[in-house]
């Protein structure tokens, strides 16, 4: 009963701080301070200094700002615009036609971005005006973009995988590899939905702009070569064991700078804006990570993780019941916090329980990423919804309804990886066995 009172007080304090407009990282630090001062004997100031320094000086986290910067460079140069021109001719033959550019474009950009919001914004900037001008149904355009934008979290390299890997102390390279098949599976499910919807509503899809020969399509695809090449170099260096995630991120930054310079779209103001944009985003994430790490330490001193683990264990839930309960918990958390905050705030409490239940932490990482993807398109704090609202000026509830089919497909994806865990673990296992 005492634990329930403490948890209730801290949750109320957290939402009061968040509701008053305090930054998430500072709100987490404030709640941690309150918890340590009121419910433990450890001096809060000393603990905060040591914890924040330790969480901020992790070498593994250096991959994070580099991947963010690479995404910012692509977002602000012509490389991203070339993707649409290269993809469009191939999509005309599929039911749904250019609607697939949202999904495939997001899947490709996700492989060089790592950010859901950056993926959604970059592809949306290209496809929204083009598809609206051609008369594609607005609900399908916005819905597919909202859902496919979340692939930025799942298809490696992924910022949230780096954060989870640090929290769970497992290989980030293995996490990246584990995300490939689920990411492609989810992209395929989105495209399958578009195909089925288009076959059921044939009159709502505009006719193809023009008929192009195979070689004309190949010629148009030359615009994709720089981006595909960059993906191959970054991910190939990780999978081949040539580079760590941090070194591959540095290669990605250099590669994106070189490509954009060769194309003539890299100017001083573009370089400055990309660097400052990456710095601002990383500083926000680093502050959240520091606050959440301090809160995790505070919870540890109070004893809440142990008591929560004991409580969940006492429920006697089977493994599938625990997974369902955690999925519901993460989705509810996603209504109020962004994905990175959810991971860093909850992993210290949940991982001991997950380990005790015999759940593979590598598999659980991909499960968490998919569920956090759902949170990106759930109001009121769905980041992709905010991005699309800013770009389209549509109401948030309307965008959320348009994205609902994608949300349900993600639920199906979670069920599939639970029933067939090899979808997650097979590829990393093969990589480990490779000579």
**Per-residue pLDDT for 162 more than 80?**
yes
Question: Which phi and psi angles does 41 have, rounded to 5°?
Answer: -95, -5
Which residues neighbour 426 within 8 Å (Cβ) at sequence distance 6 or greater? Answer: 181
Q: What token pair was written down for 338?
A: 């962004």
Which residues neighbour 97 within 8 Å (Cβ) at sequence distance 6 or greater? Answer: 91, 198, 205, 206, 208
pTM: 0.73
**Per-residue pLDDT for 109 more than 90?**
no
What is the model's pLDDT at position 434? 43
Q: What token pair was written down for 153?
A: 């979290």
Q: Which of 127, 238, 219, 217 is nearest to 175 (CA)?
A: 238
What is the model's pLDDT at position 413? 93
The tens digit of pLDDT for each residue in 60-71 reads 667 778 877 877
Phi-psi domain of 285 (left: phi exceeds 0; alpha: psi -120 through 50; beta: other): alpha
Mean pLDDT (whole number) for 373-388: 74
CA distances, 331 to each of 23, 39, 217, 343, 401 (Å): 21, 29, 41, 12, 16
**Per-residue pLDDT for 198 more than 80?**
yes
Question: Which phi and psi angles does 9 have, rounded to 5°?
Answer: -65, -45
Cβ atoms of residues 292 and 28 within 8 Å: yes
Q: Which of 435, 431, 350 is nearest to 181 (CA)?
A: 431
- 3 state DSSP class of 317: coil
Cβ atoms of residues 252 and 70 within 8 Å: yes
Which residue has 């499910």 as its token pair? Answer: 189
Mean pLDDT (whole number) for 299-322: 70
**Per-residue pLDDT for 89 more than 50?**
yes
Helices (H), 114-213: 116-134, 138-149, 151-154, 159-168, 172-178, 180-200
| Confidence band of 1 (pLDDT split at 50, 70, 90) | very low
- 3 state DSSP class of 298: helix
**Per-residue pLDDT for 403 more than 60?**
yes
What is the model's pLDDT at position 367? 93
Cβ atoms of residues 183 and 413 within 8 Å: no
What is the model's pLDDT at position 326? 84
Rounded to whole angstroms, the Cα distance separating 278 from 284 reads 10
Rounded to whole angstroms, the Cα distance separating 381 from 378 reads 7
Mean pLDDT (whole number) for 236-240: 76
Q: What is the 3-state secondary structure (H, E, C) of 69-118?
A: HHHHHHHHCHHHHHHHHHHHHHHCCCCCCCHHHHHHHHHHHHHHHCCHHH
**Per-residue pLDDT for 139 more than 80?**
yes
Task: Say how many C-beta atoms besides its own lie within 10 A of residue 423's C-beta.
Answer: 19
Phi-psi domain of 135 (left: phi exceeds 0; alpha: psi -120 through 50; beta: other): left
The tens digit of pLDDT for each residue in 329-360 reads 888 777 666 677 778 777 777 888 888 788 88
What is the model's pLDDT at position 364? 93
**Per-residue pLDDT for 4 more than 50?**
yes
Cβ atoms of residues 63 and 328 within 8 Å: no
Cβ atoms of residues 304 and 98 within 8 Å: no
Looking at residue 291, what DSSP letter applies?
H
| Confidence band of 265 (pLDDT split at 50, 70, 90) | confident
Higher-scoring residue by pLDDT: 1, 378: 378
What is the model's pLDDT at position 435? 41
Question: Which phi and psi angles does 213 have, rounded to 5°?
Answer: -80, 170
CA distances, 250 to each of 139, 225, 307 (Å): 38, 20, 42
In total, the chain counts a number of residues equal to 435
């Amino acid at each position: 009963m005492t634990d329930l009172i403490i948890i209730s007080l801290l949750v109320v304090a957290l939402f009061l701080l968040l509701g008053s407009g305090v930054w998430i990282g500072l709100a987490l630090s404030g709640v941690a301070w309150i918890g340590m001062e009121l419910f433990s004997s450890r001096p809060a100031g000393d603990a905060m200094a040591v914890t924040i320094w330790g969480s901020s000086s992790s070498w593994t986290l250096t991959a994070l700002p580099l991947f963010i910067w690479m995404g910012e460079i692509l977002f602000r140069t012509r490389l991203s615009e070339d993707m649409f021109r290269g993809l469009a001719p191939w999509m005309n033959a599929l039911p749904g036609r250019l609607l697939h550019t949202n999904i495939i474009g997001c899947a490709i950009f996700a492989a060089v971005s790592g950010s859901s919001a950056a993926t959604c914004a970059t592809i949306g900037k290209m496809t929204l005006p083009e598809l609206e001008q051609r008369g594609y149904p607005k609900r399908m355009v916005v819905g597919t973009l909202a859902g496919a934008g979340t692939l930025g979290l799942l298809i490696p390299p992924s910022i949230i995988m780096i954060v989870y890997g640090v929290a769970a102390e497992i290989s980030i390279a293995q996490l990246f590899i584990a995300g490939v098949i689920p990411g492609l599976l989810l992209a395929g499910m989105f495209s399958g939905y578009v195909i089925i919807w288009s076959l059921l509503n044939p009159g709502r899809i505009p006719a193809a702009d023009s008929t192009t020969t195979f070689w004309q399509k190949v010629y148009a695809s030359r615009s994709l070569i720089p981006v595909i090449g960059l993906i191959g170099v970054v991910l190939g260096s990780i999978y081949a064991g040539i580079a760590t995630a941090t070194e591959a991120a540095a290669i990605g930054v250099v590669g994106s700078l070189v490509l954009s310079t060769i194309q003539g779209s890299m100017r001083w103001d573009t370089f400055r804006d990309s660097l400052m944009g990456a710095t601002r985003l990383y500083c926000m994430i680093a502050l959240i990570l520091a606050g959440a790490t301090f809160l995790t330490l505070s919870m540890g001193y109070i004893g809440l993780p142990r008591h929560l683990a004991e409580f969940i264990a006492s429920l006697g839930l089977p493994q599938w019941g625990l997974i369902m309960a955690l999925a519901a918990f993460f989705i509810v958390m996603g209504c109020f916090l962004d994905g990175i905050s959810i991971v860093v705030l909850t992993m210290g409490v949940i991982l001991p329980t997950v380990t005790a239940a015999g759940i593979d932490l590598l598999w659980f990482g991909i499960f968490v990423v998919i569920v956090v993807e759902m949170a990106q398109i759930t109001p009121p704090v769905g980041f992709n919804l905010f991005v699309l609202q800013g770009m389209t000026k549509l109401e948030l509830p309307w965008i959320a309804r348009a994205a609902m089919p994608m949300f349900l497909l993600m639920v199906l994806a979670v069920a599939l990886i639970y029933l067939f865990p090899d979808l997650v673990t097979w590829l990393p296992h093969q990589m480990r066995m490779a000579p």
